[in-house]
Structure 1
Amino acid sequence: MKYLYYSLALFILSSFITPNDDADYEKEIKEWHKNRIESLKKENGWLNLAGLFWLEEGRNSFGADIENKIIFPTGKSGNFLGEFILSNGEVFIEAKKGAEIYHENEKVEKLKIFPSEKPILLKHHTLRWFVIKRGNKYAIRLRDLDSPFLKEFHGIETFQIDKKWKLKAKFEPTVGKKIAILDVTGQTSQQDSPGKLIFTVAGKEYALDALAEGDELFIIFGDITNKKETYGAGRFVYAAKPDADGFTSLDFNKAYNPPCAFTPYATCPLPPKQNLLPIAISAGEKNYGNH
């Protein structure tokens, strides 16, 4: 009889606690993914990128005409809009008369656009652009609010949500350590790594070097699903900074594709070789398109 009561108690607990916990967790992941999709579609998201143009020292003419050094999309831009001037690490814009280029609703004639206290966004019809710096190179990043990438986007397939991929990870500090991060443009930067996350999958221990980003840890990783079920150049995932005991949660159900999975105009970092896991992480976002 005692065994019957004990079994009944376990049944009641499993009925009212575990399923609810699992349902709440699934709801959390679905909400996270929904927000992720919405962020991609925003004006400052990755789906509307329309060009990445590296500047040469001196004058760089731009517009839709093929005679320009920088050719903006046909039908979206005036033929000759003006020039970008790169001089000793500073970038200026000189607009042609009647070019209809605006900054904060003010028509632009000549303006220093880099460096600046905050990014300067310029507008022309549905186009938006600003300057980015990668290493010692400067580029114009162009957006089109009417981009075909945005129109063709219909979401991202994911693996089935499985709580087993929410892993407890031990944070091992590596004060002063820098790791080499190569990006898709071929440039390498040395970035601070505050520590590594050590975790266990199927009884085996693995580690990932983390980067610091604001109040979180940022991890660029690869695994053996890459080029098959997931994006070929790896994925990203965030983790909270460790608690007082040195532990955090590494949730691969929130692993997501880098911007380069959606557009050829991004400059994504690649996983460092020590972050290439010899296992399949069957969680998070799957590949998008044919990348």
Structure 2
Amino acid sequence: MTVQDVDRVSFVQEWEEWHRQKEAVLAGPHGFLAITGLHWLDGEPTRFEDAPGAWSSTAEGVVVELAEDEEITVDGHAVRGRHDFGVLAERASVYAGWGDTVIEVAKRGGHDIVRPRHPGNALRTAFTGTPAYEPDPRWVLTGRFLPFDAPRAVTVGAAVEGLEHVYDSPGQVEFELAGTAYRLTAFNGKAPGDLMVLFTDRTSGVTTYAANRSLQIAAPDGEGAVTLDFNRAANLPCAYTDLATCPLPPAENRLPVAIETGERIPLERGGRR
């Protein structure tokens, strides 16, 4: 076995571990596949079939009013009667327990929502994994981060019709593919300094999910160089369920080329292995 063969084996193993970890979060007991409802709150206390209590959105934040025989846990403490979750920041989530169920209370697109997560949800229990292209080192590209003078607020659409998200963009990522240069508007990633891009390409709606894929990019080095490993182009939760509010890519991130790597259309949306 040559050094190149060993490197490729390691490359594939690292990709497989990344994919396993991502799938484990998605299909965990309280991951996105466990969600049974996306409930939009307003000022009228409302009960839902998959959660206890009557929920409302008030000037003081999200409130639940529990019946005498109902109880939830918040931060490990039993709660009865009325509980105020407070005013949530945009894209924030807090969680309450109810038996083996976790109830997500969140704000998305300026709206308060409740999303119960039941481990027994059929979408989760029937999940067998996400199809993906075979990992290939040729799809690991070197790019360059082009920072803006100051972060720019970028408004994008959402998987939920009529909803919008606003993200701060620190700059763009430029890379070349087959001799042509492309630029993607980047948002802040999971760790300080990291980046994330949302994009579509010519595989979108054909072999990959139509609305979006995301790519996490490690922080640029001292000269602005970045690595784009498109093998890790990942589906967002909306690729699996309509109970997600995922952002859509900005118009400039719709690539006119086929990125034939990364995660493909989920089986739950008619995809094939």
User: Structure 1-normalised TM-score?
Assistant: 0.84
Q: 1 CA distance for matches of 2:67 and 2:12? A: 54
CA displacement, residues 225-251 of structure 1 (integer Å, 9 cap, x when unaligned): 111100010201100111012101000
Q: Which has more radius of gyration? A: 1
Q: After TM superposition, give the deviation of residue 116 of structure 1 in Å.
A: 6.5
State the partner residue of 1:150.
124
Q: Superposition pairs for residues 1-291 of structure 1, below 5 Å?
A: 16-60=2-46, 62=47, 71-73=48-50, 81-103=52-74, 104-115=76-87, 119-176=93-150, 177-185=152-160, 186-213=162-189, 214-215=191-192, 216-288=194-266, 289-290=268-269
2-structure distance, mates of 1:72, 1:100: 15
Preserved contact between residue 236 and residue 256 of structure 1 (Cα < 8 Å): yes
Unaligned runs of 5+ in 2: none
Distance 2:269 2:139 in 1: 26
Mean Cα deviation higher: 147-156 or 112-121 = 112-121
Query: For the Cα contact (< 8 Å) 1:126–1:146, is it kept in 2?
Result: no
DSSP-derived class of the 1:22 partner: helix
Q: Is the 8 A contact 1:166 1:253 kept in 2?
A: yes
**What is the alpha-carbon distance in structure 1 between the residues aligned to residue 120 and residue 179 of structure 2?**
49
**Partner SS for 2:269:** coil
Q: Following superposition, which runs of at least 4 residues in structure 1 exceed 6 angstroms of deviation?
A: none
Work out the CA distance in 2 between the residues paired with 1:32 and 1:83.
40
* Equivalent pair of 1:55/1:139 in contact (CA under 8 Å): yes
1: distance between equivalents of 2:59 and 2:187?
Answer: 30
Letter in 2 for 1:180: T
Check conservation: 1:173, 1:196, Cα contact below 8 A.
yes
Q: Structure 1: 5+ residue runs without aligned partners?
A: 1-14, 63-70
Describe the SS at the equivalent of 1:102. strand
Q: What is the distance in 1 between the residues matched to 2:239 and 2:124?
A: 13
Alpha-carbon deviation of 1:37? 1.1
Q: CA deviation at 1:121?
A: 2.3
Q: How far did residue 125 of structure 1 move?
A: 3.1
Q: TM-score, normalised by structure 2?
A: 0.89
Q: Give 1:146 shift.
A: 1.2
After superposition, the C-alpha distances for 1:243-288 in whole angstroms (9 at most, x for unaligned) are 0121010001001101011111110000111000001100110000
**Aligned AA (1:142):** P
Q: What percentage of aligned pairs have identical amino acids?
A: 29
Note the C-alpha offset of 1:189. Answer: 3.3
Per-residue CA deviations over 1:179-224 (Å, capped at 9, x if unaligned) read 2221122222332111111111111111111101233101100001
Measure the CA separation in 2 of the matches of 1:258 and 1:134.
15
Measure how far apart 1:147 and its partner are: 1.0
Which residue type is aligned with residue 51 of structure 1?
G
Give SS of 1:193's match: strand
